[in-house]
Structure 1
Amino acid sequence: MVILLVTAAVAANIVYDLFPRVPLAFYQIAAGLILSLVPSFSDFHLEPELFMLLIIAPLMFNDGQTVNIGSLRRNLRSTLSLAVLLAVVTVVVGGLFAHAIWSAIPLALAFALAAIVTPTDAVAVKSITADLEVPENAMNALESESLFNDASGLVALSLALAAFTTGEFSVGHSLLQFIIVFFGGIILGLILGMLVVLLRQAFQKKAMNAVAVDLPINVMTPFLVYMVAEELGLSGILAVVAAGLVHGMQMRRLQLTSTQTQVVTRSTWTILTSLLNGFVFVLLGTVMPQVWQNLTSSDTSHMPQLIVISIGLYALMTLLRYLWPAFNLVNLRSESTHANRDRLILAISGVHGTITLAMAFSLPLTLSGHPFPFRNSLIFISGTVILLSLIIPTLLLPLLIDKKQASFSQSELDDAITQMVNFAVDQLKSATDDHAILAPVIETLNSQRGHHQVSDEKQVHQLLEQTGEVESAAIGDMIEKGEVDATVGWKYNRMQIFQLQFAFLSPFARIKMWGRLLTLRLFPKHAQKTFRKHYRQQAKTFSKENQRRFLTGPSGALPARSSENRPLPAVVQEAMAQIPANIRQDPQKWSRAQRRSVRQQLRGSDFMAAKQQLMAQMEDRGFQAVMTYLNQVETAANQTEVEVVRHYYTVRHSRFNRNEATNDKEDQLFIQAFQYEYAFVQRAANEQKLSDALVNELHSKISMDQLVYMQSANS
């Protein structure tokens, strides 16, 4: 079931990326509706305690540690007015309204219903307003309110349920209990949060691994704090929010003293909260069909009343949220010309979601051995209010708020990154001609572009043919200069052409090639003839000059294949010198011991090391020639295709040559490259070729890329 929930949440994200006009929450609810058709979810029951602990607690903790502390401090009075006073008024007025519309429902349960639909969800608001320019003062008020009004709703629900089950209610006792649960949760969260922060600081001073020690402690904190608070009868939600605030202040104080820890922690929480938020709305879509089925199977006569109550409660809460700043009960710090607009935004943006759903399903299943009265009806009303609070802002907010105007387009960013990378690459090419070190650096820098165009397969194969000719010519030059034996040189040329063809064959052709290799292993004599024919067919694709070089060598004659004409390594010559001259030329007359001696020398480490060194020398010469050629022919039009070919040769070269000295030189080139990129951005900024927002985005990208590279280089 967890796998299905994750799959549904990810699928909703994919659809949202393709069609972003519809808020993400609606896609997630739709994914939940589809998921409800799976047999595993046909009788799915949401456990409220686990839901609050595993989903709500970490979400509220992260909201606390990412909130703007300065804004929260400045607007503390307004936050408490919205989160406590408005919440209490909404519960009272909403409960009286629900009871007046539907007198059959007990007053205590009517108050419980109002408490359920009171909490707001800032995450859902962000989902709806992702592409809208929401005024900062209104968004700050909405975010701060959602941190604390969850606890107000939970405490009010607890008091209402207690009054319903016991039949007793005391205003004074209830008020005292509210204060203890509310402020007790905050105080406990601050204390526990500070203790955890001190523990993390102690481990950081010991320079312990951030991923293995600090991050798990940070992730476990909301669960531990929530459980302790609930066991003590305090608000677990407020406790985790307070603990999150402490952790947020701690992260801001550290600044750059623990960069790696902060990057890892923020990345982890970003992924975790995105997934958990997706779970909430997927679960909403999953359980709604079941709630509807339960209602329709029992009694449908009250359905019109339930719909009227749902619409009436939403309208009433929206009206109260509009009147609250209108009567100066909350200060939105709005300009006089925008005061009415901000009040409307605050009213309409009272979106309900996560906590409302959890509270609705936290209603008991039974009471004194009997089904809990009106449970399905209350859940249906809560779900309808959630849907209304999502749909109405989606329709009305775009009429009040302008769409976000990006400071730069994606194409402008892509062009700037391309120019920046090209500048750095050009500077590196002019600074060094060591292609063995330069090629992997260029390849990695090109990955900064992020947007990879599809390469032209035909042009790639043309480049591969040309680079194959270049490398064959380079090896032929080594043969002419006597740097390598002709037979060995032409054998290497055939091998590199074979590898080149094999790397870019179609799947069917690759299977045929594997068949040939298997034939070579099982039937070597027959396969040798087949392969020579295959090599000659490959050579037909070369120029006339390189056909001659590839098949015959510079002299125009086939390389000698007899053992007496082939230069042998010194260790092998020494072994053969022990064999009498009269039988040396005829291996058939060698004794078993003589054969074993020569065979051991051919298989010996000295011979193999010499062979590997010779192969590495030829590969390096060919690699340098190919890199020089690619740098000469590279243009803006064929850059993508050249990158593909360069990648192939770079990977091949790294298999032949890799050592600590190479790594150190690469690190130095990368440091220079990042400095060149910073220089490009600074010069473009001084010449006003790039906007300030684009400059900041490029600086951020360079810094992050540099951090990622240094971390991977040190790992």
Structure 2
Amino acid sequence: MIAAIGANIVYAIYPKIPLAFYEIGAGVLLSLVPIFNNFHIEPEVFMLIIIAPLMFNDGQSTDFHTLKKHFNSTLSLAVVLALVTILVGGLLTHAIWSVLPLTLCFALAAIVTPTDAVAVSSITTNIDVPEHVMGSLENESLFNDASGIVALDLALTAFTTGKFSLSQGIEHFVVVFFGGIIVGIILGMAIVFIRILFQRRALDTIAVILPFNLLTPFIVYLAAEHLHLSGILAVVAAGLVHGIQQSRLRLTSTQTQVVTKTTWEVVANLLNGFVFVLLGASGPSVWNDLSASEAAHLPILVIIAVSLYLLMGLLRFLWCMLNLVTLAGRETRLKDAFILSLSGVHGTITLAMAFSLPLVVAGQAFPYRSAIILVAGMIILLSLIIPTLILPIVLPTKQAAFTPEEFSDQMVRMVNFAIEQLRHTGQNTAALPAVIEVLNGQKNESKKNADSRLVHQLLEQAEQAEHVAVNELIENGELQPQIGWQYNRAAMFQTQFAFLSPWARVKMWVRLVEFRLFPHRARNHYQKKVQRSREAKQAWLKEHGYLDRHQHHENPEHPANVNHHQQREIQLAKITGAQLPANQSPRQSRERPTFQQRRELRRQTRNRQLSEENRAAFTKAGNAGYNGVISFLDSIETDDNRQEVDVVRHYYNVRHQRFNLTESTSDAENELFIMAFQFEYSYVQTAGKQEHLSDELIAELHKKISMDQLVYMQNGN
């Protein structure tokens, strides 16, 4: 599983090579680990744990109406063509290598006959395969697995007993084939009935339905195999029944269906990856298991693998050209026949059947077992490599209906539209910032492109807006000066510390220790820093047209006209009772707090054991400062600085929640979220008409909104 996950990571980084090749390569690397040097897996366990759930998922993901419409074509490919391929392939193998018993030649042909639609999808991710051809491949792979398994069982029975009757063989094939389908339908309907009963009795919770659904393929497979019927066909039939039931109950237990569908996607991806990893990991073991006589016939084994692969492709091509199968109700064309023959990729079932060969027969080692597995592995590799090289030449590259950039752009515009509409409603202003913060998460924008210089300038202005709001509480007698100064000091330090790099934070701590030991250095450093900050700020305000806004205050003590050092002197003066002369800045004042007063002030600010009254006052200051910052950011936000404003807003939202200052506004937030999602749907509808968006892009936007709405309701409630 670790190897399969690693292959998925590499594929996400470099998707030009099909995922199956990464998984096979991961298996080869895994074989170098000592514990996997001689790796073998029990065939029965492999069929039960890997193949049964994969086939069940394929069945429940299949469109039953399409399958029913083209059932004759599917039966022709999956049964008739499969049996013809086994007969001709077995005779060809025996003609090339007469040493191999004829029954084992048929067994080899039965092993390599089944196709794998998942493997086809893996190598055609970026190729535009015609839908009718791909549909035929998917329907064929549902049933030709059973044809190969039943034929393999007959061949092995004939080999072990030395007897074979054509009439009995046909009878056995019919019973096992159709008996498995009937058992799967019956058990599938029974399990569906139980699920419906759970729903009627309000027991359809995820904790019940999801494990019940995951256990279904194992139960059905074991029951069918116990009756000596096709377990593979049974789980496919049960999966089809479940697919029909899900399509009829699409709006029943929506959350359960979404979770179940997502879980099956993850399980199927990992299990398919496990199969190809096993192929790579088992290669060295199979090679080591080759006896001296089998290794000597290696050139013949390669010839057999190539001949069988070419034979299967030729038979598929002729089958289509002779109109023995109709692709989606259309007359078969030469190109379609060529694509269908080339896309007969082998994978999961072929490997499983190869490893299902018994190790011992009649007390002796099964002859030519490693040789048969080696030929099957080579055919799997050929069926993966050749289409990967040829199909991109024959078929065009898949053209996406929209690019990721177009989707991202529409998402940003949609969310911004919803936010603007919420602001215009004027409702629930206390809950609005938190709602905007969550909605901005829909954009999934990268903050790396934000202008760091502008972010820091906005932080300075936001910090001033916060101080203004807190100072107004102090001036109005609603907040004690000590609490207000303590809050401003803590907020100022956190803001500066939050936007530093890790190395800069270390340097800052070292500087703080230095200033604690040598106060005169701190005073000189701070004076220079204040002067540089004042000059840089004035230059930026003048450049961006904000200078007039910050110069209209006549009061020299107004926080918009003083720096942090001056603000601290104002607060010290108010705390200690010192008076500032009229029309004189704090730095011009000769009345300064004494050393004992300053020490007492520091002692008060270090005291973290606040009383309940002071804690409430601190919360009040925090809420006022936070609301002041959000109001300021809303007032200056434009299309040009929206990303930088979002960065600053996100910081203040996170800090506000960390201080546990967020008020309980769940009902108001729910109301705003419902309105926001409606605004997003309205935007998509309007933009789709005005900008002529593609149907696929509109559907993807609707899907995004629906999933976000579902996730919010799950997390919020």
Give the length in aligned residue pairs: 665
In 1, Cα distance between the equivalents of 2:184 and 2:509? 65
Q: Which residue of 1 aligns with 2:649?
A: 646
| Pairwise CA distance, 1:302 | 0.8
Change in Cα spacing, 1:614 to 1:190, as seen in structure 2 (3 Å) is same
| Residue pair 1:182, 1:234 contacting (<8 A) in 2 also | yes
| Residue pair 1:407, 1:693 contacting (<8 A) in 2 also | yes
1:147 to 138, 142, 145: 142
2:341 to 339, 344, 347: 347
Bigger mean CA deviation after superposition, 406-415 or 89-98: 406-415
Bigger mean CA deviation after superposition, 53-62 or 82-91: 82-91
Amino acid in structure 2 at the alignment position of 1:644: V
Task: Specify the SS of the correspondent of 1:449.
Answer: coil
Instruction: Tell whether 2:623 aligns with 1:629.
Output: no
After superposition, what is the alpha-carbon deviation per residue over 1:379-419, rounded to whole angstroms, capped at 9, x for unaligned? 11100111111112112222332222111111111111111
2:442 to 448, 455, 470: 448
Q: Which residue of 2 aligns with 1:25?
A: 20
| Pairwise CA distance, 1:510 | 4.4
1:257 to 229, 252, 255: 252
Q: Which residue of 1 aligns with 2:385?
A: 391
Amino acid in structure 2 at the alignment position of 1:380: L
Change in Cα spacing, 1:678 to 1:333, as seen in structure 2 (3 Å) is closer
In 1, Cα distance between the equivalents of 2:393 and 2:625? 65
In 2, Cα distance between the equivalents of 1:70 and 1:309? 40
| Pairwise CA distance, 1:354 | 0.3
In 1, Cα distance between the equivalents of 2:475 and 2:567? 9
Matches within 5 A, 1:156-235: 156-208=151-203, 210-235=205-230
Identity %: 53
| Pairwise CA distance, 1:560 | 6.1
| Residue pair 1:486, 1:559 contacting (<8 A) in 2 also | no
Task: Specify the SS of the correspondent of 1:418.
Answer: helix
In 1, Cα distance between the equivalents of 2:186 and 2:577? 85
Task: Specify the SS of the correspondent of 1:559.
Answer: helix
Matches within 5 A, 1:324-335: 324-333=319-328, 335=330
| Residue pair 1:64, 1:241 contacting (<8 A) in 2 also | yes
Change in Cα spacing, 1:561 to 1:538, as seen in structure 2 (3 Å) is farther
In 2, Cα distance between the equivalents of 1:33 and 1:299? 22
Amino acid in structure 2 at the alignment position of 1:132: I
In 1, Cα distance between the equivalents of 2:53 and 2:527? 67
Q: Which residue of 2 aligns with 1:558?
A: 572
Bigger mean CA deviation after superposition, 693-702 or 52-61: 693-702
Unaligned runs of 5+ in 2: 536-555, 580-606
| Pairwise CA distance, 1:527 | 12
Bigger mean CA deviation after superposition, 255-264 or 460-469: 460-469
Matches within 5 A, 1:56-455: 56-208=51-203, 210-295=205-290, 299-333=294-328, 335-336=330-331, 339-432=333-426, 436-454=430-448, 455=450
In 1, Cα distance between the equivalents of 2:376 and 2:471? 81
| Pairwise CA distance, 1:476 | 2.2
| Residue pair 2:462, 2:632 contacting (<8 A) in 1 also | yes
Amino acid in structure 1 at the alignment position of 2:409: D
In 2, Cα distance between the equivalents of 1:117 and 1:124? 14
Change in Cα spacing, 1:333 to 1:553, as seen in structure 2 (3 Å) is closer
Instruction: Tell whether 2:60 aligns with 1:46.
Output: no
| Residue pair 1:476, 1:549 contacting (<8 A) in 2 also | no
Amino acid in structure 1 at the alignment position of 2:136: A
Amino acid in structure 2 at the alignment position of 1:703: S
2:711 to 686, 698, 708: 708
Q: Which residue of 2 aligns with 1:656?
A: 660
Change in Cα spacing, 1:433 to 1:508, as seen in structure 2 (3 Å) is farther
| Residue pair 2:530, 2:563 contacting (<8 A) in 1 also | no
| Pairwise CA distance, 1:460 | 2.9
Task: Specify the SS of the correspondent of 1:103.
Answer: coil
Task: Specify the SS of the correspondent of 2:184.
Answer: helix
Bigger mean CA deviation after superposition, 468-477 or 701-710: 468-477
Amino acid in structure 2 at the alignment position of 1:249: I
| Residue pair 1:436, 1:623 contacting (<8 A) in 2 also | no
Amino acid in structure 2 at the alignment position of 1:142: L
After superposition, what is the alpha-carbon deviation per residue over 1:130-188, rounded to whole angstroms, capped at 9, x for unaligned? 22222222112111111011111111111111111111111111111111111111111
Task: Specify the SS of the correspondent of 2:573.
Answer: coil
Q: Which residue of 2 aligns with 1:522?
A: none
In 1, Cα distance between the equivalents of 2:654 and 2:223? 54
In 2, Cα distance between the equivalents of 1:560 and 1:465? 23
Change in Cα spacing, 1:551 to 1:479, as seen in structure 2 (3 Å) is farther
In 1, Cα distance between the equivalents of 2:608 and 2:454? 43
| Pairwise CA distance, 1:292 | 2.5
Instruction: Tell whether 2:8 aligns with 1:13.
Output: yes
After superposition, what is the alpha-carbon deviation per residue over 1:608-637, rounded to whole angstroms, capped at 9, x for unaligned? 332122112211111111112222333334
| Residue pair 1:311, 1:385 contacting (<8 A) in 2 also | yes
After superposition, what is the alpha-carbon deviation per residue over 1:550-595, rounded to whole angstroms, capped at 9, x for unaligned? 4565984733667999xxxxxxxxxxxxxxxxxxxxxxxxxxxxxx
Change in Cα spacing, 1:286 to 1:100, as seen in structure 2 (3 Å) is same
Task: Specify the SS of the correspondent of 2:442.
Answer: helix
Q: Which residue of 2 aligns with 1:674?
A: 677
Q: Which residue of 1 aligns with 2:459?
A: 464
Unaligned runs of 5+ in 1: 1-5, 520-524, 566-601
| Residue pair 1:115, 1:156 contacting (<8 A) in 2 also | yes
In 1, Cα distance between the equivalents of 2:447 and 2:494? 26
Instruction: Tell whether 2:602 aligns with 1:608.
Output: no
2:471 to 476, 485, 492: 476
Q: Which residue of 2 aligns with 1:579?
A: none
| Pairwise CA distance, 1:61 | 0.2
| Pairwise CA distance, 1:652 | 2.4
Bigger mean CA deviation after superposition, 425-434 or 489-498: 425-434
Amino acid in structure 1 at the alignment position of 2:573: P
| Residue pair 1:53, 1:226 contacting (<8 A) in 2 also | yes
TM-score (norm 1): 0.87
Amino acid in structure 1 at the alignment position of 2:216: T
| Pairwise CA distance, 1:706 | 1.3
Let me know the Cα RMSD of the aligned residues.
Answer: 3.0
After superposition, what is the alpha-carbon deviation per residue over 1:52-80, rounded to whole angstroms, capped at 9, x for unaligned? 11111111000000101011101111111
| Residue pair 2:470, 2:625 contacting (<8 A) in 1 also | yes
Task: Specify the SS of the correspondent of 1:463.
Answer: helix
Amino acid in structure 2 at the alignment position of 1:470: A
Change in Cα spacing, 1:489 to 1:348, as seen in structure 2 (3 Å) is same
| Pairwise CA distance, 1:640 | 2.8
In 2, Cα distance between the equivalents of 1:477 and 1:549? 17
TM-score (norm 2): 0.87
Change in Cα spacing, 1:271 to 1:29, as seen in structure 2 (3 Å) is same
Q: Which residue of 1 aligns with 2:586?
A: none
| Pairwise CA distance, 1:514 | 7.5
Amino acid in structure 2 at the alignment position of 1:400: V
Task: Specify the SS of the correspondent of 1:131.
Answer: coil
| Residue pair 1:112, 1:160 contacting (<8 A) in 2 also | yes
| Residue pair 1:490, 1:550 contacting (<8 A) in 2 also | no
After superposition, what is the alpha-carbon deviation per residue over 1:464-499, rounded to whole angstroms, capped at 9, x for unaligned? 222222212222232233332223222221111122
Bigger mean CA deviation after superposition, 637-646 or 282-291: 637-646
In 1, Cα distance between the equivalents of 2:466 and 2:626? 7
In 2, Cα distance between the equivalents of 1:552 and 1:488? 18
Amino acid in structure 1 at the alignment position of 2:572: L
In 2, Cα distance between the equivalents of 1:443 and 1:234? 58
Bigger mean CA deviation after superposition, 629-638 or 116-125: 629-638
